[in-house]
């Protein structure tokens, strides 16, 4: 191991850094020239669809997967060729296999006993972990006698007991039912607040990423699509991929013609004849004639069909009452759009409605998917 030239003392170095990392499996490029920094004590989520390379990335940080090209640094030290056991990193896997014949106590202490820790040290550390994870009452039970959430906490306890500096979580909650997932999400947030440890958390669930992370890294086919805080990604997606991935139900995309761009405002022609004015960044090429207008369901609202402010008109195809809100699928000249209305709307399928558009929240995307 050697310090990076020019990095004095490493005090300001990120806790985890990947530099131009590529991972190939034969002809498959799972990670493609990816650079990423993770600050000490931060909670970073790696978010992306199945197969985009999330687990591969995590396993490379843990040292479980060889890097084909590029480097991995911990605290400014190149660990690209350092064995996993020497990295002070603990990983919680998606399919956490607890030893079925061992009690909670034995499962948690197992890695310590392997490492040759004394009985006393094993006991002390196991109790410390059990206290943090509120498992004290379950220390003598076997996994079959625990609930899903308790088992999940034992799996986290096995990582915690090693006093790692970096926690890697690979979709740790995906086996749990929806209610337990929400509960465990809160517990993980508390754990992070208590330990101040660096956590990198893989998920394809954008709600988990949005609620837990201070920084989200969205991956698209082995590359970084965007890095930012949850609200940055939500409000200012850099491209259509991120815009579509963050937010539920997903953003609507409407084909539009660009008629003018002036003073940072683009005027677009909507299918059906109306126009809208949308803010654009930088200086979008005037040559861009067509674009897609991205509008989130909550930025469309129902108005009467002949309302002068209606940007679109359409026929309601499906109404979904969720109690606190209503989702309406409306067939318009721009295709079917999803509209989020209040819980008590009285609209029915087959009704003709107008939709007004909150222009300040709409985004424009060019043909290559980049935000204009
Ligand atoms: N050992 C392997 N050999 C060949 N290809 C692999 C191997 N491991 C992963 N891949 C491929 O690399 C790509 C990334 O896989 P990875 O497991 O990192 O995806 P992921 O984002 O974790 O997906 P998921 O959300 O489904 O877990 C996929 O196309 C996968 O098929
Ligand atoms: Mg995976």
What pLDDT was estimated at residue 11?
A: 55
Query: Could you tell me the distance, in angstroms and rounded to a whole number, from the CA of residue 68 to the centre of ligand 2?
Result: 19
Atom of ligand 1 nearest to the CA of 56: 18
pLDDT recorded at residue 179: 83
Q: What is the pLDDT of residues 295-322, one digit of tens each?
A: 999 999 999 999 998 999 999 999 999 9
| Nearest atom within ligand 1 for CA of residue 53 | 18
Do 245 and 206 meet the contact criterion of CB atoms below 8 Å apart?
yes
Nearest residue (by CA) to ligand 1, atom 25, is: 50
281: left (phi over 0), alpha (psi -120 to 50) or beta: beta
Ligand nearest the Cα atom of residue 64: 1
Q: What pLDDT is recorded for position 315?
A: 97
Residue 54: pLDDT band (50, 70, 90) is: very high
| Ligand 1 atom at shortest distance from the alpha carbon of 28 | 5
Residue closest via CA to ligand 1's atom 2 equals 25
**Ligand 1 centroid from CA 57, angstroms:** 10
CATH assignment of 16-244, given 2.60.120.10, 3.40.50.300, 1.25.40.10, 3.40.50.1980?
3.40.50.300
Output the CA 71–ligand 1 centroid distance in Å: 20
Residue 31 bridge partners (DSSP): 23
Predicted confidence (pLDDT) at residue 169 exceeds the cutoff of 80? yes
> What is the model's pLDDT at position 283?
61
Confidence of residue 287 (pLDDT cuts 50, 70, 90): low
Please report which confidence band the pLDDT of residue 214 belongs to, taking 50, 70 and 90 as the band edges: very high
Q: What percent of the chain has pLDDT over 90?
A: 72
pLDDT of residue 184: 83
Question: 249-365: what CATH class?
Answer: mainly beta
Mean pLDDT of the chain: 91
Rounded distance from Cα 52 to ligand 2 centre (Å): 8
Give the pLDDT mean for 325-345.
96
pTM: 0.88
From the CA of 204, give the closest atom in ligand 1: 25
Q: Which ligand is nearest to the CA of 219?
A: 1
Q: For the chain, what is the largest distance between any 2 Cα atoms, rounded to a whole number of angstroms?
A: 79
Q: What one-character DSSP code corresponds to residue 274? A: -
Q: Could you tell me the residue ranges of all domains in the chain?
A: 16-244, 249-365
* Protein residues with CB under 6 Å of any ligand 1 atom: 25, 28, 30, 48, 50-56, 204
Would you place residue 290 in the very low, low, confident or very high pLDDT band (cuts 50, 70, 90)?
Answer: confident
Predicted confidence (pLDDT) per residue in 18-39, tens digit = 999 999 999 999 999 999 999 9
pLDDT at 284: 60
Mean pLDDT of 51-78: 95
Q: Any idea which residue has 């034969």 for tokens?
A: 26
Mode of pairing for the β-strands spanning 275-279 and 290-295: unpaired
pLDDT tens, 236-254? 999 999 999 999 999 999 9
Could you tell me the CA-to-CA distances from 88 to 74, 79, 159, 270 in Å, in that order? 10, 11, 10, 55
For ligand 1, what atom is nearest to the CA of residue 58? 18
153: DSSP letter = H
**Ligand 1 centroid to 53 CA: how many Å?**
6
Q: Which two tokens stand for residue 50?
A: 């199945």
Look at residue 1 in the predicted model and tell me its pLDDT. Answer: 41
The pick from 45, 52, 200 for probing ligand 1's pocket by mutation, whose C-beta has the most ligand atoms within 8 angstroms, reads: 52
Pocket test for ligand 1, best of 18, 21, 22, 25 (most atoms within 8 A of CB): 25
Higher-confidence residue of 9 and 23: namely 23
Confidence of residue 4 (pLDDT cuts 50, 70, 90): very low
CA of 121 to the centre of ligand 1 (A): 38
């Amino acid at each position: 191991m050697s310090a990076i030239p020019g990095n004095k003392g490493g005090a300001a170095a990120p806790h985890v850094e990947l530099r131009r990392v590529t991972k190939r499996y034969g002809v498959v490029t799972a990670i493609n020239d990816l650079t990423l920094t993770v600050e000490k004590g931060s909670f970073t989520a790696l978010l992306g669809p199945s197969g985009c390379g999330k687990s591969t990335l995590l396993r490379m940080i843990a040292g479980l997967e060889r890097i084909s090209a590029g480097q991995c640094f911990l605290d400014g030290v190149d660990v690209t060729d350092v064995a996993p056991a020497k990295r002070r990193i603990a990983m919680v896997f998606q399919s956490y296999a607890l030893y079925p014949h061992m009690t909670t106590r034995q499962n948690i202490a197992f890695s310590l006993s392997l490492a040759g820790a004394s009985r006393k040290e094993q006991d002390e550390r196991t109790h410390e972990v059990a206290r943090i994870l509120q498992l004290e009452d379950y220390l003598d039970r076997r996994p079959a006698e625990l609930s899903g959430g308790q088992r999940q906490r034992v799996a986290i306890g096995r990582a915690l007991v090693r006093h790692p500096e970096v926690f890697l979580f690979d979709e740790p909650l995906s086996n749990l039912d929806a209610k337990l997932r929400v509960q465990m999400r809160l517990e993980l947030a508390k754990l992070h607040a208590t330990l101040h440890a660096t956590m990198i958390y893989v998920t394809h669930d954008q709600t988990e990423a949005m609620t837990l992370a201070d920084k989200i890294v969205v991956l698209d086919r082995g590359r970084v699509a965007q890095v930012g805080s949850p609200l940055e990604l939500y409000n200012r997606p850099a491209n259509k991929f991120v815009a579509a991935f963050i937010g539920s139900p997903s953003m609507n995309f409407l084909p539009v013609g660009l008629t003018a761009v002036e003073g940072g405002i683009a005027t677009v022609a909507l299918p059906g004849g109306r126009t809208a004015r949308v803010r654009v960044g930088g200086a979008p090429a005037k040559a861009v004639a067509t674009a897609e207008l991205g509008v989130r369901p909550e930025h469309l609202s129902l108005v009467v069909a002949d309302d002068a402010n209606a940007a679109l008109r359409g026929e309601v195809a499906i109404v979904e009452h969720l109690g606190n809100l209503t989702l309406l699928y409306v067939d318009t000249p721009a295709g079917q759009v999803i509209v989020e209305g209040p819980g008590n709307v009285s609209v029915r399928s087959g009704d003709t409605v107008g939709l007004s558009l909150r222009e300040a929240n709409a985004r424009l995307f060019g043909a290559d998917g980049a935000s204009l």
